[in-house]
Structure 1
């Protein structure tokens, strides 16, 4: 399978789970596996009835889909360090999970009384996070084992209480069934707190050189006519090309950050090269005489980047002048 299709699936995954920002204070690392099953095929390139992928610090490290039916490495150091039997065993495990998902997505459709003519999505995400102040071995911070159906929370594991949580009535039969098997919950807790952390540290050691690389954000500010209100401009701040993905981006007016509820945000999204981007926008009055800027903070920066954008005259007249200049040069 080509890397381009894996990237498309990774982008879809981040859209569904809304890859977001987190605190910049402590050093954090994560290992997650995400499985996605569709109730029927769709005619879209790179989108399969079943996919599975591993994400180490938000970078895809392995991939499986229902067409090729092989678990493959997507980082060169994973291919070099992990023996062939690791990939063979992983392939068999993915095939088993594919069968499980195919059965259970149909069970949920029946339980929800959903139409078979529509496409429904069952996802499972499980893994762990570690946190510390540096060093190779860090402490367990959080474990996640959760299921979603059609983008809504369906069932999740409470690691502290070793119990399943059902936010919707349709999940209650599954919760009761799984909670009545204590050894299953004990295994889930043990995997999240111990086995997952061991794999996370091992993978980070293998990919230390690659994962240690970081990239600062490229920050751009621009404005154009608002499509919803012709008397306003849409001011946009874009930070792109940064890694790791934790970033702070604020739109400021006279050096005061605008409230987040006034700002549109794409959330942090992946670029094709393993870096990330974040875009935020706000509608402002076209004739307003104010100083705006984009404020961006990232661990690669000694000082935050402040990219200014100021009104010097009516933006509409400036657009007209630029248009006239372009016409005269033709």
Structure 2
């Protein structure tokens, strides 16, 4: 056993830890409504650019002007960039207005008063490791009323129609090879170039990122066998790629033992993530967090306290009380069993 431990230590000592692989993305999302809904902040047409899930520009059908949403975009991009961008967004707004009506007729929705939505999302993702930048994937897809309508297959350079109503558009666009070649070239080259340029412009803010704030707490569970739910929460981090693991005696719990909220955005452009597990017995738990802004992982131990139990109630007290309750129930159960048998014997005697 000692020999094995020594060998294990040697292996761990000389194991090369791979560099952190960063994922970055640039997406543009266009949304058109079939009619006004007269709600604040919702327009018939909107368009926005998202760099690593942070909004960098915005346009709507009311102001009809492409504007920067990050200070470094305003500082770095020249005025003609915003003027040309405004004209491009206006032409796309007209395209959406025309094609949404065509699509509604094709879907037989042109005679109803419901609000229908046409959305287009396109962009690219890259993997970055130091100075090595690699194209990961490109997306160019349309949806109608929240359902997939048409998508570009970057590998095969053709459009994919998941619904019958999209087949005429697929045939029409596939019959123009130069269009598909341009789409593929934009996703794999031009989009990546813009992504790298924007990241260079926002170098300090984007590259330095924001480190995660880690919290661990437990709350009682009213029903079920488990009596406590332990939660590890990380928030305020950027970029969004993060590793969060709940560990028991320094061993990571399996995925089927953990509930995850998924990474969600905060109002300030950072992100948050929660993971929870049910606790059935007294044990040592901690939260293990790794993020590219950290020199070493954060390990935050649970102090054994229950947040919404009586003040300062440790888990040992809770499970001790549970054992006491079970003993009382056992005594009551025995008494009930005795009385039941006695009464049943009296009834049989009749």
Q: Is the 8 Å Cα contact of residues 219 and 306 (structure 2) preserved in structure 1?
A: no
SS at match of 1:188: helix
The residue aligned with 2:46 is: 51
Q: Is the 8 Å Cα contact of residues 121 and 151 (structure 1) preserved in structure 2?
A: yes
- In the superposition, relative to structure 1, how do residues 239 and 179 fare at CA in structure 2: closer, same or farther (>3 Å)? same
Question: 1:313, 1:86 → 2: CA distance?
Answer: 55
- In the superposition, relative to structure 1, how do residues 143 and 315 fare at CA in structure 2: closer, same or farther (>3 Å)? closer
- In the superposition, relative to structure 1, how do residues 84 and 236 fare at CA in structure 2: closer, same or farther (>3 Å)? same
Question: 2:227, 2:145 → 1: CA distance?
Answer: 36
| Unmatched runs of 5 consecutive residues or more in structure 1 | 1-22, 322-330
Following superposition, the deviation at residue 298 of structure 1 comes to 0.8
Task: Please provide the CA RMSD for this pair.
Answer: 3.0
Asked if 1:68 corresponds to 2:69, the answer is: no
The residue aligned with 2:143 is: 148
1:161 to 152, 156, 161: 156
The residue aligned with 1:131 is: 127
Question: 1:61, 1:100 → 2: CA distance?
Answer: 23
Q: Is the 8 Å Cα contact of residues 226 and 278 (structure 2) preserved in structure 1?
A: no
Render the CA deviation track for 1:198-224: whole Å, top value 9, x for unaligned: 222222222222222221100112233
Q: Is the 8 Å Cα contact of residues 19 and 129 (structure 2) preserved in structure 1?
A: no
SS at match of 2:92: helix
Question: 1:314, 1:208 → 2: CA distance?
Answer: 41
Following superposition, the deviation at residue 178 of structure 1 comes to 0.9
SS at match of 1:215: coil
TM-score by length of 1: 0.78
| Aligned counterparts, 1:266-285, within 5 A | 266-285=261-280
- In the superposition, relative to structure 1, how do residues 245 and 110 fare at CA in structure 2: closer, same or farther (>3 Å)? same
The residue aligned with 1:191 is: 186
Asked if 1:307 corresponds to 2:300, the answer is: yes
Question: 1:310, 1:100 → 2: CA distance?
Answer: 59
The residue aligned with 1:297 is: 290
Q: Is the 8 Å Cα contact of residues 24 and 247 (structure 1) preserved in structure 2?
A: no
The residue aligned with 1:257 is: 252
The residue aligned with 1:86 is: 81
SS at match of 1:138: strand
The residue aligned with 1:202 is: 197
Greater relative contact order (Cα 8 A, min sep 6): structure 1 or 2?
A: 1
Once the two structures are overlaid, the 10-residue window that deviates more, 248-257 or 63-72, is 248-257
TM-score by length of 2: 0.74
Question: 1:230, 1:97 → 2: CA distance?
Answer: 56
Render the CA deviation track for 1:78-126: whole Å, top value 9, x for unaligned: 1122221211111111112122223333444444455844443322111
Once the two structures are overlaid, the 10-residue window that deviates more, 259-268 or 79-88, is 259-268
- In the superposition, relative to structure 1, how do residues 188 and 221 fare at CA in structure 2: closer, same or farther (>3 Å)? same
